[in-house]
Structure 1
Amino acid sequence: MKLHITYDHPIPINAFEWTPATYRQSPHVHASLEIGLCLSGKGAFFFGNKRYAASPGDLFIVNNEERHIAQSDPDDPSRYLFINFDAAMLLAEEPGLLLPFSYRSTHFCNHIAGGSALAQELTPWILAIAEELQVKSAGYLAMAKSALIQLCGRLLRHYNGLLTEVERQTMVQSVRQIQSLAALVEQRYREPISLGELADELGLSVSRVSRAFLETTGYRFSDYVSLLRIQSAKQDLTGTDKAVAHIAFECGFQSLPTFYRVFKEIVGMSPIVYRQSIGVAH
């Protein structure tokens, strides 16, 4: 089952607490990346055929490909704090931060034991993100994003040391290719663009770049283009008094019905309702 994630804030980061069922539910996958902190109780966390025991202080790393689900101990149900975020944000900030999430599932340990030096280093940043998004003090969006970058930077330093040189070079090459592709997309997403055209410019095969893009970001190329267009539209809806139709075409959509459909799929409401929800007249 693939979950569709929506975000509660102007930046694509969510923080939420969750208590798993005491029976094993169907595993799921989502395009977003995730880090879970077990706050209390006991249970298990399943990633494909892998099973990890869970106890307070344990951390779990979730990428955008591996099917996963947690389960609570019936006598001592577990409770988690999850930080869920969009890979596109790290891609735009520093693509190398995606390396810890670009693992091949069979060779990766998703579990970081509570009490370990790494868990103690990462936990304060997880709690800081959750607090910023909950309290919403002045500058909270920048603070939450900064804390996430600190968190992922520390993960990068840890996992980078565990890779063989061949693995590291392969992963770095993929990330660099995706960085180049993403840079071209960000320059041209307002125009009609195709993956074939951009792959040709980069000297890569369409199949290679398509697969690498999906593995690294969790997005299909067309979905990523739509995401950039919608992010731009959201900024115009909140920061200008431009007509909705004008915004749609200016952001790269070829028809108004397509814009409305994609906007609602990604944001969860229509462009007009989104503009009204933040107090801007349309």
Structure 2
Amino acid sequence: MILDVNALLAGHFIEPDTYAVKRPHGHNDWLVMFTLEGSGFVKQHGIDRICNKGDIILLAPGTPHHYGTMKSQTWQFVWAHFPSIITETNLLPQEDQVFLTIENDSLQERIYTAFARILADSRERGEYWFELCCSSLREILLIMAQKSIRKMDPRIEEVLHLLSQQMREQIRLEDLAQTVGLSPSRLSHLFKESTGYSIIDTLNRMRIQQAVMMLAHTGRSASDVCYDVGFQNYNHFTNQFRKWQGMTPSMFMKNPR
């Protein structure tokens, strides 16, 4: 399946062990490939890189490369060719190749979902379909840029994702630790070492950030917002709001930033 979207080409391939592509002079655009299942290889500058599930590779225009499937392996991957003009240049690396392993399951799913939107929007060709494709591609590049800058343990990334998704719920350290396969004490130490904050401080900060947006834009009362973001006690909410914002909720509502 190949989708021609003018300046953007994208596809979802499931290839047998006879599949190979050789471009001794590279291509005239950028190429990003994300492995979903199986194994493949990418050879560039004489270096072989094995692509397994969660591996994503970005090749610059004009970069000679050779890629294909491994012996006795099927390679399932999504890919996109795109010109540099469709995104900010600061998202595109100076190197001619970037190879990253996305170990976090949530980030893998997010990248795949972005590729799936590119394919779907290309097929449907609704209003602003090309802009939607570019937006999804930009999301992929932003995740790659973030991953390149922040070398964080994937277990801590998973905990951060869980905190953001379950912010309104009562979260237990023991449950988080079990989910990522660590003891509660080890998780607490590794989380603080990686982020600079404790888990409870990070959760409260997320809640207060959400509360700030709700107070500024929804017209809801502070007491309603307190429970909406996951606090069970208004006094605790007020104390945490002062800690992270330097003022009480009532002061903020009188002079929102």
Q: Which structure is higher in RCO with an 8 Å CA cutoff and minimum separation 6?
A: 1
Structure with greater strand share of residues: 2
With the length of structure 2 as denominator, give the TM-score of the two structures.
0.48
With the length of structure 1 as denominator, give the TM-score of the two structures.
0.44
